[in-house]
Structure 1
Amino acid sequence: MAEVLQVEVRDHVAHLTLNRPEAMNALNRELKRALIEAAHAASVDPEIWVVVLSGAGGRAFSVGGDLKEMGSRDDSGRAMTSPMSEAERNLYEVVLEIPKPTIAVVDGYALGGGFELALACDLRVCSDRARFGLPEATIGMGANFGSVLLPRLIPRAIALEMLYFARRMSGEELARLGLVNHVWPAEELDTRVAAWLAELTSKAPITLQRYKHMALKGWELPVAVNLRLDVGPNPYTSQDRIEGNRAFREKRAPRWRNR
């Protein structure tokens, strides 16, 4: 059987591909566990500078929780565990805390937990056929992560409308709200993403990690406090800062070492 998560590392980028296309990449327990393990591995590997999440099959990034698996558990009489109280760490929180730039590449549907997985990433790009939504109100679920993150990322009234009415939105609509960075034609998605990643990985990896720490950990702190957080790797004392300065003076591309 194929692995439910394909992991490939190339050019300092970890590509995590949800690989259950027959189920529109629904997040069953096995896939969630594999994503948590891959996120941890990418977090601690110094050769990985960027993490990209995508879905196999072209129909969906992910349609969220595996309702068949949930139904089987319900039929057996086993109680469902509430979010944040599971035996394992919450998937979305784990992805949110990856200390390196993370990108969700969405082609097709990103619904429920699939949308939440995209929300956990720093950046989101999609094809022109992408559709996003939180349908939990139609099936009695809670969108625990989405109900917290989405109102912080787009205007609250629109976020609540998406939640209350289970409204689906296109990539173009969410790009206008600042939630999606780029919308590209489906047939160009892979090429555009590859070019975008090549540009991103040309930047100093320690600096990118520092940006993420400062932006996320100081999200709601007063500016004066945030400025003094001094979290994440220190680019000012790094070898890469010396290399970047030298490369600029020598008019060549820098050779980053992530140290």
Structure 2
Amino acid sequence: MTTELGEGRVLYNVDGNVARITINRPERRNAMDTMTTGALIEAFVEAESDPDVWCVVLTGSGDKAFCAGGDLKEMDDTAKSGRQIPVPMMGPMRNLFEVMLETYKPVIAAINGHAIAGGCELALASDIRIARAGSMFGLTEARRGMGANLGSILLPRLIPRGLAFELLYTAETIPVERAQELGLINHVVSGGEFETAVDELVSRIVQNSPVTLRRYKEMATKSWGLPVTTALRLNVGPNPYLSEDRVEGVRAFLEKRDPVWKNR
């Protein structure tokens, strides 16, 4: 069953241990207004807390845009009214990108169209990025006097700093094919094969132990930037070595059958 969040701006559906979160504003190129952002936070919090969800897929409605970033019309209307737009990491609402990074399950960005500005940051905050061929990718905030708060932190960690700064400083968009060459996109797939490719990737992930998947995500997130000797001593997330899934995984291999995971 599909749940509508934020008055239908975000669709949330769980099927076969996979939560699918869809930004549903195709008429606005899936731009994120305040209500959409709140609904996305709600969806990711729900996915994180649901033990039946082992993987999350984020995408947009239609085929024009994955997400065009923040809703500039709403921002302009807010400024005209004399009010301040939301500021990253401030105010009563959790930061969307922080929530995504703290969703300790694989998060796949299914980039069905252009991923621009905040939409690009949504993709960067995901773990794996698969894109429809012909889409554009980039952080255009410098053209609008915005900050790309997450992008300015993550991009120089994901690709060489000089390349990251060039993309940030010029605010240029690049084809996803070029983004793949830089290592920012895992797969670029033609339009007719895109949805099938996403499903196949997700299927290859959820056939594995959800305990291990969660451990990988939490360890990789919390150890980022730490010295290796320090990171090796972290013990965050579920411990697969002590889990029922580890017992089942070994036994299933020896019995030459598929494992039946219990997520514990």
Q: Is 2:262 the partner of 1:257?
A: yes
Q: Kindly provide the amino acid, as one letter, of the partner of residue 222 in structure 2.
A: K
Per the normalisation by structure 2, the TM-score is 0.96
For residue 147 of structure 2, what is the aligned residue in structure 1?
142
2:131 equivalent to 1:102: no
Q: Where do 1:30-179 residues align within 5 Å?
A: 30-179=35-184
Aligned mates of 1:30, 1:81 — CA distance in 2: 12
2:34 paired residue number: 29
Opposite residue 195 of structure 2, the aligned amino acid is: D
Q: Deviations over 1:80-119 (max 9, x none)?
A: 3421112201111111110111010102110011111111
Distance 1:97 1:111 in 2: 22
Q: Are the counterparts in 2 of residues 210 and 232 from structure 1 also a CA contact under 8 Å?
A: yes
SS in 2 for 1:126: strand
Segments of 5+ residues of structure 1 without an aligned counterpart are none
- What letter matches 1:164 in structure 2? Y
Deviation of residue 247 (structure 1)?
Answer: 0.4
Query: Of the candidates 2, 7, 24, which is equivalent to residue 19 of structure 1?
Result: 24
Contact 1:133 1:169 in 2 (8 A): yes
Q: CA deviation at 1:3?
A: 0.8
1:209 is matched by which residue type in structure 2? R
The AA in structure 2 aligned to 1:140 is G
Return the offset for 1:127: 0.9
- Given residue 174 of structure 1, which amino acid in structure 2 is its aligned partner? A
2:57/2:109 contact within 8 Å kept: yes
Tell me the distance in 2 between the aligned counterparts of 1:22 and 1:156.
Answer: 36
Mind listing any 5+ residue stretches in structure 2 that lack a counterpart? none
Equivalent residue for 1:222?
227
Query: Per-residue deviation at 1:52?
Result: 0.6
Asked if the contact 2:101/2:221 (under 8 Å) is kept, the reply is no
1:198 aligns with 2:191: no
Whole-Å separation in 2 of the counterparts to 1:255 and 1:79: 51
| Contact 2:68-2:117 at 8 Å conserved across structures | yes
Q: Amino acid of the residue matched to residue 65 of structure 1?
A: G
Matched AA of 1:212:
K
In the alignment, structure 1 residue 209 sits paired with structure 2 residue 214: yes
The match for 1:245 is 250
**1:230 Cα shift?**
1.2
Secondary structure of the residue aligned to 1:118 is: helix
SS in 2 for 1:214: helix
Residues in 2 aligned to 1:172 and 1:203: alpha-carbon distance in whole angstroms: 29
Residue 179 of structure 1 aligns to which amino acid in structure 2? L
Deviation of 1:251 (Å): 0.3
1-structure distance, mates of 2:221, 2:11: 28
Structure 1 stretch displaced more, 230-239 or 174-183: 174-183
Q: After superposition, what is the alpha-carbon deviation per residue over 1:32-79, rounded to whole angstroms, capped at 9, x for unaligned?
A: 001101111110110000011000011001000000100110110112
- The structure 1 residue matched to 2:186, chosen from 181, 191, 198, is 181
